Amino acid sequence: MHRILFGIVLVAAASTQPARADLSVFACEPEWGALSKEIGGDKISIYIATTGSQDPHQVQARPSLIAKARGADVTVCTGAELEIGWLPMIARQAANAKIQPGTPGSFEATSFVQLQEIPTRLDRAEGDIHAAGNPHIQTDPRMILLVAKPLSERFAELDTANAALYAQRYADFAQRWTAAMTKWNVAVAPLKGVTIAVQHTSWIYMINWLGLKQVVALEPKPGVPPSSGYLAEVLETIQHQPVKMVIRAAYEDDRPSAFVSERAKIPAVTLPFTVGGTDEAKDLFSLYDDTVKRLLAAAKP
C-alpha cells in the first residue's frame, strides 16, 4: 500500500514539474536569441552570450560561456567573422561535437543573406575589416525574415519531434513580421535621402533599407578611435556636405558623436543596434520600433 501511495506521489510530483526544453540554444547575440525564441517557443532553452551594451567583436571567452556551450545543441550566431575573436575558442574549449563548425549545430545567420561591403583587398592597416563582408545584418528587418525560415528548418532538423511546431511558429512569425515591416516602411518614408554621419561603419544594411546617405564616418578606419585632429577633419567635411544627424550604436563610446554633435549643431542619435541596446528595445519588434522612432525624431526640421 505504501509503495502504491509513493508511486502516486512521484507521478503527481512529476506532473507539476515544468516541461523540459527539447533543444538547448547558445545564441551569440541578443537578436538571434530573440529570433530563436520566436521560432522555438517553450520547446527550446536559450542562453545569450552577449548583451545590448557589449561590443560583439570584443567578448572574453569566459568559463561561464564555455560551460553553456558545452551543453548546447546548437549555436545561433551572426557569422562572417563577427565572433572570430571568441567563438572558436569557446567551441574548442567546450569540446562539444554538436556545435563544431560545419555541423548542423553551428548556425550562422549571415550564410542566408547577401553580404555588403565585401573588401576588395585584405590589409590589417585598413582597420578592423571583415573579409566576408559587413556582418551587421540585424540593422535591416528584411534580413531577419531571410534568416527566420532557415533557422526554423535547422531547429526542425535537430529536433524532429517538434518539426511541425517550428514550422507553425515560423509561419506565424513571418505573418506578424511582414505586417510590422509594412508599418515601418510607411513610417520611415521621410528618412529617404537624409544625410548622416556614423561613428562606426556598422549601418550599411539600415542605410540601404531606409535610403539614407552616409557622408562621413567618425572613425578614420573601422575600429580605430578617432583623434581630435581627425574629428576636426570630420567637422570640415560636414561644413561642405551638411548632415542631419550623427549615429552611434548604444554600446559605443558616446564622446566622439557628442563632440561632433555639439560643434556641428546636429543631433547625436543613439540607436539600440540590437535587442536590449536601449530600454525600449525589449524584443525584435520593439528593436525596430525604437530605431525608427529615434531616427524620425532626429530628422524633424
For residue 63, what is the domain's CATH number?
3.40.50.1980
Q: Is 283 inside a domain boundary? A: yes
CB 39 within 8 A of CB 151: yes
Q: Is 52 inside a domain boundary? A: yes
Q: Are residues 74 and 149 in the same domain?
A: yes
Q: Which of 256, 135, 234, 243 is nearest to 194 (CA)?
A: 243
Domain boundary among 184, 216, 237: 184
Domain boundary among 184, 216, 250: 184
pTM: 0.91
Grid coordinates in use for 184?
Answer: 515601418
Grid coordinates in use for 191?
Answer: 528618412
Q: What pLDDT, on the 0 to 100 scale, is given for residue 127?
A: 61
Q: Are residues 113 and 244 in the same domain?
A: no
Per DSSP, what are the bridge partners of residue 234?
Answer: none
Q: Is 104 inside a domain boundary? A: yes
Nearest 5°: phi and psi at 197? -110, 150
CB 130 within 8 A of CB 79: no
CB 255 within 8 A of CB 262: no
The sheet carrying 106-108 orders its strands as 44-48, 23-27, 74-77, 106-108
Q: What pLDDT, on the 0 to 100 scale, is given for residue 101?
A: 96
Q: What pLDDT, on the 0 to 100 scale, is given for residue 123?
A: 65
Domain boundary among 132, 163, 184: 184
- What is the dihedral sign for C-alpha 102, 103, 108, 111? positive
CB neighbours (10 Å) of residue 9? 10
Q: Are residues 60 and 196 in the same domain?
A: no
3-state secondary structure of 25: strand
Q: Are residues 121 and 146 in the same domain?
A: yes
Residue numbers in the chain where pLDDT is lower than 70? 1-20, 122-127
Q: What pLDDT, on the 0 to 100 scale, is given for residue 12?
A: 42
CB 23 within 8 A of CB 41: no
Q: Are residues 165 and 268 in the same domain?
A: no
Q: Are residues 180 and 230 in the same domain?
A: no
Q: What pLDDT, on the 0 to 100 scale, is given for residue 276?
A: 98
CB 201 within 8 A of CB 222: yes
Q: Are residues 124 and 27 in the same domain?
A: yes
Q: Are residues 220 and 175 in the same domain?
A: no
Number of structural domains in the chain: 2
Q: Is 225 inside a domain boundary? A: yes
Q: Which of 35, 81, 34 is nearest to 57 (CA)?
A: 81
Q: Are residues 151 and 265 in the same domain?
A: no
Q: Is 6 inside a domain boundary? A: no
Helix/strand/coil percentages in the chain, nearest 5 = 50, 10, 35
How far apart CA 197 and CA 83 sit, in angstroms, is 26
Q: Are residues 166 and 270 in the same domain?
A: no
Q: Is 125 inside a domain boundary? A: yes
Grid coordinates in use for 128?
Answer: 578592423
183 Rama sector, left if φ>0, alpha if ψ -120 to 50, beta otherwise: alpha
Q: Are residues 80 and 193 in the same domain?
A: no
How far apart CA 49 and CA 62 sit, in angstroms, is 10
Q: What pLDDT, on the 0 to 100 scale, is given for residue 15?
A: 41
Q: Are residues 44 and 175 in the same domain?
A: yes
Q: What pLDDT, on the 0 to 100 scale, is given for residue 130?
A: 79
How far apart CA 210 and CA 251 sit, in angstroms, is 22
Q: What pLDDT, on the 0 to 100 scale, is given for residue 120?
A: 81
Domain that holds residue 212: 188-299
Q: Is 218 inside a domain boundary? A: yes
How far apart CA 151 and CA 167 sit, in angstroms, is 10
Q: Is 87 inside a domain boundary? A: yes
CA angle, residues 233, 268, 198, in degrees to nearest 5: 55
